[in-house]
């Protein structure tokens, strides 16, 4: 290797992990890195404004992911956000994930406990089953990546920590937000077809952003992540702040709960979106496009299964089918809670949605570790290894796919 090429490599190192190394480093022949980032951020702004105007939940994250992916694909160079920015964005996502959980009330949880248990178990079974089927149908997708892609809840949280859990963050992020877009887009269309809902008097919504809540959030973002890292908690910069925000939100008065202003939330969404989309390469995009029919089929199966659960819940609790469908909807919690408030839906919706989110996040965190250590994982890997063609075997030691020598 010449001295010039060595210097170029040192100027533009490539992060090796779950990123596809087929993406080229900057060799001086393409756009300047500053130009690429400027192009990416301009595209993020344009798409983000459009998606926000459409009322899409998580629009800025989706916009940044699309913009970074298109920029990486168009220029042939990965975009890797600064690690410090990512470690600042992850705690904000953790606090955001904790806020709906703070609204859960013990009495309501008990009254809908049976429905929540059945709905969550069925949704979890659907998610894991679809994830394993996706991994079985798609060469190069590990069971962990498949399951994380199909977990029905906490899209931003799962996408943020998927690489730390052993999944392919690019594929997981695209699959999760594809599900989020489909659910968010279909709920307003489906509800009028299901009939009317019984109107319940909703609690008054306080639109103020208390300054003390922002101070609490800043303190959690600054302290919780490093402390969790010292305690060896998985994905510490997300789970540490999530747990601390949950405890503070449930134990403190409303005025002392964490509060996240839109500017902070959107900035965190953009950084996480850039991280998820910036590592895309042409080979990764071709793989996702090739697997798109399988992914959409699995998402459709999950939605259909949740609709079946809604019919059961409607009959069980004698509630309108609209409320039952919102309660059983597979993800899109922020959109679903906003719609349920607008139509005056009952407490079954936030109760089931929040409980489902708790279980799904816990499953996303724990399942990869459990699968890598127990009989179920080894059995799935063994079956897939025997059914795969000899030219494309799964390496059971690393959980990755490697080509056999010709």
Tens of pLDDT, residues 123-158: 889 888 998 888 888 777 888 888 899 988 777 778
Half-sphere exposure of 276 (CA within 13 A, CB side): 34
Count CB neighbours of 307 within 10 A. Answer: 17
Neighbours of 283 (CB within 10 A): 13
In the predicted model, is pLDDT for residue 203 greater than 50? no
Note the pLDDT tens digit of each residue in 86-103: 888 888 888 887 777 676
More confident call, 365 vs 268:
268
pLDDT at residue 276 in the model:
73
Residue 291 reports pLDDT greater than 80: yes
3-state secondary structure of 394: strand
* CA atoms of 309 and 324, how far apart (whole Å): 8
Q: How far apart are CA 29 and CA 272, in angstroms?
A: 28
Which pLDDT does position 44 carry in this prediction? Answer: 92
| For the ranges 302-306, 314-318, 392-396, the one whose mean pLDDT is highest | 302-306
Mean pLDDT, residues 225-234 taken together:
85
- pTM reported for the whole predicted model: 0.62
Eight-class DSSP state of 24: B
Residue range 266-294: mean pLDDT, rounded = 82
The pLDDT value recorded for residue 155 is 78
Stronger pLDDT, 31 or 242, i.e. the higher one: 242
Residue 19 reports pLDDT greater than 90: no
Residue 322, both tokens:
């609209």
How many whole angstroms separate alpha carbon 36 and alpha carbon 334? 32
Average pLDDT over residues 294-300: 90
Query: What DSSP string describes 168-230?
Result: -HHHHHHHHHHHHHHHHHHHHHHHHHH------PPPPP-----HHHHHHHHHHHHHHHHHHHH
Mean pLDDT: which of 13-22, 233-242, 332-341 is highest? 233-242
Query: What is the mean predicted confidence (pLDDT) over 56-80?
Result: 81
- Alpha helices in 329-374, H assignment, sequence order: 333-342, 348-371
Mean pLDDT of 59-77: 83
| 372-396 mean pLDDT | 52
- pLDDT computed for residue 388 by the predictor: 52
Q: Among all chains, which residue has been given the structure tokens 């747990």? A: 243
For the ranges 179-183, 295-299, 369-373, which has the lowest average pLDDT? 369-373
Report the distance separating Cα 310 and Cα 319, nearest Å: 10
DSSP secondary structure of 34-84: HHHHHHHHHHHHHHHHHHHHTT-TTHHHHHHHHHHHHHHHHHSB-----HH
Q: What pLDDT, on a 0 to 100 scale, did the predictor assign at position 46?
A: 92
Share of the chain above pLDDT 70, in %: 73
CA-nearest of 350, 323, 336 to 203 is 350
The helix (H) or strand (E) run that includes residue 158 is helix 155-161
């Amino acid at each position: 290797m010449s001295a010039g090429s060595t210097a170029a490599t040192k100027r533009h190192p490539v992060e090796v992990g779950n990123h596809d190394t087929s993406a080229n480093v900057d060799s001086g022949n393409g756009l300047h890195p500053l130009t690429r980032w400027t192009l990416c951020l301009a595209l993020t702004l344009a798409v983000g404004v459009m998606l926000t105007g459409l009322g899409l939940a998580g629009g800025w994250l989706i916009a940044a992911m699309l913009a970074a992916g298109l920029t990486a694909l168009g220029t042939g160079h990965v975009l890797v956000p600064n690690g410090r920015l990512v470690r600042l964005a992850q705690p904000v996502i953790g606090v955001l994930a904790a806020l709906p959980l703070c609204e859960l009330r013990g009495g309501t949880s008990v009254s809908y406990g049976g429905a929540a248990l059945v709905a969550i178990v069925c949704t979890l079974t659907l998610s894991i089953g679809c994830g394993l089927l996706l991994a079985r149908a798609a060469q190069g997708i590990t069971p962990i990546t498949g399951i994380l892609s199909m977990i029905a809840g906490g899209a931003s949280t799962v996408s943020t920590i998927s690489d730390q859990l052993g999944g392919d963050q690019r594929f997981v992020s695209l699959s999760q937000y594809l599900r989020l877009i489909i659910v968010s887009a279909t709920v307003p269309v489906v509800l009028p077809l299901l009939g009317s809902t019984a109107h319940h008097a909703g609690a008054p919504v306080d639109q103020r952003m208390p300054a003390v809540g922002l101070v609490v959030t800043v303190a959690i973002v600054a302290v919780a992540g490093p402390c969790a890292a010292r305690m060896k908690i998985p994905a510490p910069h997300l789970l540490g702040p999530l747990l601390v925000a949950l405890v503070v939100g449930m134990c403190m008065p409303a005025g002392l709960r964490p509060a996240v202003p839109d500017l902070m939330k959107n900035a965190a969404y953009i950084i996480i979106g850039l991280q998820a989309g910036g590592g895309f390469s042409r080979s990764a995009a071709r793989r996702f496009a090739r697997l798109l029919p399988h992914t959409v089929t699995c998402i459709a199966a999950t939605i259909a299964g949740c609709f079946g659960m809604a019919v059961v819940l409607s009959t069980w609790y004698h509630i309108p089918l609209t409320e039952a469908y919102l309660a059983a909807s597979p993800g899109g919690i922020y959109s679903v809670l906003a719609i349920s408030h607008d139509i005056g839906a009952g407490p079954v919706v936030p109760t089931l949605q929040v409980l489902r989110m708790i279980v799904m996040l816990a499953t996303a965190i724990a399942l990869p570790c459990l699968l890598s250590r127990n009989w179920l994982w080894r059995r799935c890997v063994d079956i897939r290894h025997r059914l795969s063609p000899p030219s494309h075997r799964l390496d059971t030691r690393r959980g990755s796919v490697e080509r056999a020598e010709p």
